Structure 1
Amino acid sequence: MDLDDEHEFARDAHLPPQATTLWHGRFTGGPSESLLAYTVSLPYDQRMWSDDIAGSCAHVRMLARVGLLDGAERDAILAALDAVGAEMASGSFAFVESDEDIHTAIERRVTEIAGAAGGKLHTARSRNDQVATALRLWCKRELGDVAVRLVEMQEALLDQAIGAGDAYLPGYTHLQRAQPVLLSHHLMAHGWALGRDVSRLVDALRRLDVSPLGAGALAGSSLPIDPVGTARDLGFAKAFDNSLDAVSDRDFVAEAVFDLAMIGIHLSRIGEEWVLWTSGEFGFARLDDGYATGSSMLPQKKNPDIAELARGKSGRLIGNLTGLLSTLKGLPMAYNRDLQEDKEPLFDSVEQVTLAVAALTGMIATATFDTGRMAAAADEESMAATDLAEFLVRGGTPFREAHAIVGAHVQANLAGKGSLADLVRADERLGAEAAELVRPGVGVRMRSSRGGAGPAARDAQIESYRAMLADEIGTLRTLVDPG
């Protein structure tokens, strides 16, 4: 025996024999340490402990209803599950080396507490449907929480929008100044994007609201179980229709991770803008000290780290999605251990988005704006070019011709041949009335069409935005806290 073999033997020898796993009956020896080290998921799936206990309690109650447990056995197992829950909540639960995942850890401890009755906990159940049930319960709670936090961020954007009044700044295309827009309009643009994120999460919550419990390993059970009853007990909208699909389906995880990646992209766009806005070159916004960092070397610095991390972590969220999809793409029916790889990207994406939304919400809510600097940038004469072209259009000039006329005046202005206002005033096709459109603050008031960036359209938008928030809050109250 070489040293490596001897070391492996020594590590295996101290493992409790056979009974260390839920599948020891088929095997003559215990699992190797390298197998346990590679397959263990306890370090990350233990966050589902409350969901696993909830699923187990519903399963036990069902077994008693259909006569597979007597009342004493039911009560003993439920009491043990309650005791395990208390240990988990207090942090006193003692894990052991053979605890492969949170599900085996809980069952082991239940059996220690309940004795022989605990051995009946897993009747008519597989870890395949057990894990899928716990994961769906976890997603229902955590994705609902993400949606609630997004609504809070939308509210922070609305509060800042209302507080901004008629302040305006340049609107950009290609990061070039294009037309003046109200600051409130710009802030709410991000709020509408977040509203779509909430809507996607709501759709995902509705689709994942299906209980897999009772599907077994893949084919159900010959015992008289009641999947519809456990689904109702757990608060699911329905029970599964196909056992193979129930244990192999991870569409809901992929959809959740996509939704979270899309949220990350929207947060990244916000982050990019705030990095620009708080720079000395733009100077449009100032961060509260509680939501900025300093430099270990440069005393003058005030850095937008939250915004930068929101931008940077979007790549991580996209990576979680592409990795998960790659895992799922080649799996045959039904369950495969590859599906263990669904949890880390999901858990990580939920955690990162939750942290980002909380930090960005605080950053936005506490920021202040230099509206004078915004206005100065938006009052650049060339920003009135589209308004001048539309002035000509209202007089009957074809738009392409109007575009060329105004473009020529902008070119002359850039060449130093006079201010744009003077050039417009001297053009008989435009004149003094059109030159008024070049004055500071005039252009932003011209945006009157539905959804536009001017005051009248903005006021109507605020009412629509509030209606969206009320609808989201009502929907989430039903889905997340139906009681």
Structure 2
Amino acid sequence: MSSKAWGGRFSEQPEAWVDEFNASIHFDKTLIQYDVQGSIAHATMLAKQGIISDTDCDQIIEGLNAILADYEQGKLALDVSLEDIHLNIEHELIKRIGDAGGRLHTGRSRNDQVATDMHLYTKAEVSQLIDLIISFQQTIVKIAESHIDTIMPGYTHLQRAQPISFAHHILTYYWMLERDKSRFQDSLKRIDISPLGAAALSGTTYPIDRHETQSLLDFSTIYENSMDAVSDRDYIVETLHNISLTMVHLSRFAEEIIFWSSAEANFITLSDAFSTGSSIMPQKKNPDMAELIRGKVGRTTGNLMSMLMTLKGLPLAYNKDMQEDKEGLFDAVHTLKGSLRIFEGMIDTMTVNVDHLQETVYNDFSNATELADYLVNKNVPFRNAHEIVGKIVLWAIQHNVYLLDVPLEQYQSAHESIEPDIYNYLKPENCISRRISHGSTGQEAVKKQLEIIKQNLN
């Protein structure tokens, strides 16, 4: 005779290694607080509906709270032979309070029980992720406000392109995170749904009240189809996607941090608290936190792909494959939460090397477009202006000078309309200040962007 909760029709016990393979207790213990929360709501509803007595309900709730407290204090031993957190709690509850504990599972299956736990977990964690994103955005805004007038080279193809405001550059990541936040917020509509009461797949014959447990667990609505309730993992896929895309954005930012902090760029200096050294080269200061965040995108993307592959061939309703929905989600959530906290601390403590950035844009050709615009303002067609400036740049390269060093006679030989004001026109700070279009890098445009952000940041 099997000792399993489902062992009535079985005559043999599985070997220990089979139990180990089948079990999920090693990772689904993460759900214990949500399992207790769901069970308390279920017991409360059963008593209200007259399915169990008030006395049994009180014993169940008291027992569940005691089990959770013991777990949190490290006093509860979990048994792999009991497979998962749900059966471990039920077994412990029956051991403590007797038959009343055995009545808890009335009108419920592990299928809707675990689905409820996962909805509660995902809802709570997504809400925390949104808060962490907002905090990170606030730090970005703080940095941007301090560097509206800080000039840096903007890049395309990782080649110097045009001078831009450091504030404008870093605010790009604010807006990426804003879209990430919006996706998480929208996903809550599909997470905040109660599957409790769907039972195994077809509902139950007991007169339960699903709306009561929905209310007790603070879900916005319930699944209208019991099979959909226990088989839906769309919200997990969506959460994994949102995490993966947010991590991609952090990875892009990390790549810039890594480049900016290099000796070749020297745009920023990272705090020692967010850097590491070398075991052999004593001079090294490595941007390891940024590199780790960049590397962890492989984990989160892999978790998304794994979940999609798990679901792609599953028939309705519940299948054991769905046990694989947890580890990847738990890992992805943990990874993003850690990455957001680390990244916020890393940029909050970094030093922007303002003087070097200023020097940098004076020693490149990122003001070449301004020269073309200057000629356009002299009624030269842009295509002609582009060719003229290209030839001037070539001359400057050949003579090892930059555009601000090109002699006036050389300019005028290229085009007679160029006047002495060209040198003031080509200064990087003036290149930026002339950018007046909405959303541009000009100081006034950046200030307007920050006003819009402050109206919306919450």
**TM-score exceeds 0.5:** yes
After superposition, the Cα gap between the structure-2 partners of 1:194 and 1:418, relative to the gap in structure 1 and judged at 3 Å, is: closer
Aligned-partner SS, 1:302: coil
Separation in 2, partners of 1:281, 1:419: 19
Whether the 8 Å CA contact 1:51–1:137 is kept in 2: the answer is yes
Aligned-partner SS, 2:318: coil
**Residue pairs, 1:70-85, within 5 angstroms:** 70-85=53-68
Separation in 1, partners of 2:418, 2:310: 63
Separation in 2, partners of 1:262, 1:317: 9
Whether the 8 Å CA contact 2:368–2:403 is kept in 1: the answer is no
Corresponding residue of 1:448: 436
Aligned: 1:461 with 2:449 = yes
Shift of 1:429: 2.8
Where structure 2 has 5 or more consecutive residues not aligned to the other structure, the ranges are none
* Corresponding residue to 1:111 among 91, 94, 105: 94
Separation in 1, partners of 2:313, 2:222: 26
Corresponding residue of 2:160: 177
Separation in 2, partners of 1:467, 1:213: 39
Separation in 1, partners of 2:208, 2:62: 22
Shift of 1:425: 5.0
Corresponding residue of 1:285: 268
Separation in 2, partners of 1:417, 1:285: 27
* CA shift digits 1:310-356 (9 cap, x unpaired): 11111111111111111111111111111111111101111111111
Aligned: 1:244 with 2:227 = yes
**Residue pairs, 1:8-23, within 5 angstroms:** 18-19=2-3, 21-23=4-6
Shift of 1:357: 1.0
Separation in 2, partners of 1:372, 1:204: 44
Separation in 2, partners of 1:309, 1:447: 36
**Residue pairs, 1:91-130, within 5 angstroms:** 91-130=74-113
Corresponding residue of 1:144: 127
Separation in 1, partners of 2:421, 2:427: 11
Specify the code of the residue in structure 2 equivalent to 1:53: V
Corresponding residue of 2:299: 316
**Residue pairs, 1:168-247, within 5 angstroms:** 168-247=151-230
Corresponding residue of 2:149: 166
Corresponding residue of 2:348: 365
Aligned-partner SS, 1:206: helix
Whether the 8 Å CA contact 1:195–1:468 is kept in 2: the answer is no
Specify the code of the residue in structure 2 equivalent to 1:458: V
Separation in 2, partners of 1:149, 1:419: 44
Specify the code of the residue in structure 1 equivalent to 2:445: A
Aligned-partner SS, 1:111: helix
After superposition, the Cα gap between the structure-2 partners of 1:115 and 1:176, relative to the gap in structure 1 and judged at 3 Å, is: same
Separation in 1, partners of 2:112, 2:80: 24
Aligned: 1:334 with 2:317 = yes
Corresponding residue of 1:67: 50
Separation in 1, partners of 2:153, 2:80: 61
More displaced 10-residue stretch of structure 1: 308-317 or 429-438:
429-438
Specify the code of the residue in structure 2 equivalent to 1:185: H
Whether the 8 Å CA contact 2:23–2:80 is kept in 1: the answer is no
Separation in 2, partners of 1:271, 1:443: 28
Corresponding residue of 1:406: 389
Separation in 1, partners of 2:401, 2:70: 80
Whether the 8 Å CA contact 1:379–1:441 is kept in 2: the answer is no
Separation in 1, partners of 2:400, 2:17: 79
Aligned: 1:424 with 2:411 = yes
Aligned-partner SS, 1:180: strand
Separation in 1, partners of 2:441, 2:159: 17
Whether the 8 Å CA contact 2:25–2:83 is kept in 1: the answer is yes
Specify the code of the residue in structure 2 equivalent to 1:466: K
Whether the 8 Å CA contact 2:151–2:428 is kept in 1: the answer is no
Shift of 1:386: 1.3
Where structure 1 has 5 or more consecutive residues not aligned to the other structure, the ranges are 1-16, 471-483
After superposition, the Cα gap between the structure-2 partners of 1:411 and 1:224, relative to the gap in structure 1 and judged at 3 Å, is: same
Whether the 8 Å CA contact 1:267–1:310 is kept in 2: the answer is yes
RMSD: 1.5
Give the TM-score normalised by structure 2.
0.96
* Number of residue pairs aligned between Structure 1 and Structure 2: 453
Specify the code of the residue in structure 1 equivalent to 2:255: E
Aligned-partner SS, 1:178: strand
Separation in 2, partners of 1:241, 1:386: 60
Specify the code of the residue in structure 1 equivalent to 2:322: L
Aligned-partner SS, 1:450: coil
Specify the code of the residue in structure 2 equivalent to 1:38: F
Shift of 1:295: 1.4
**Residue pairs, 1:391-402, within 5 angstroms:** 391-402=374-385
After superposition, the Cα gap between the structure-2 partners of 1:367 and 1:419, relative to the gap in structure 1 and judged at 3 Å, is: closer
Shift of 1:271: 0.9
* CA shift digits 1:138-178 (9 cap, x unpaired): 01111111111111111111111112241110000010000
Aligned-partner SS, 1:462: helix
Shift of 1:418: 6.6
Specify the code of the residue in structure 1 equivalent to 2:59: A
Separation in 1, partners of 2:401, 2:105: 86
* Corresponding residue to 2:117 among 134, 154, 161: 134
Specify the code of the residue in structure 2 equivalent to 1:219: S
Separation in 2, partners of 1:311, 1:294: 18
Shift of 1:278: 0.7
Aligned: 1:376 with 2:359 = yes
Shift of 1:441: 2.5
Separation in 2, partners of 1:322, 1:381: 43
Specify the code of the residue in structure 2 equivalent to 1:340: Q
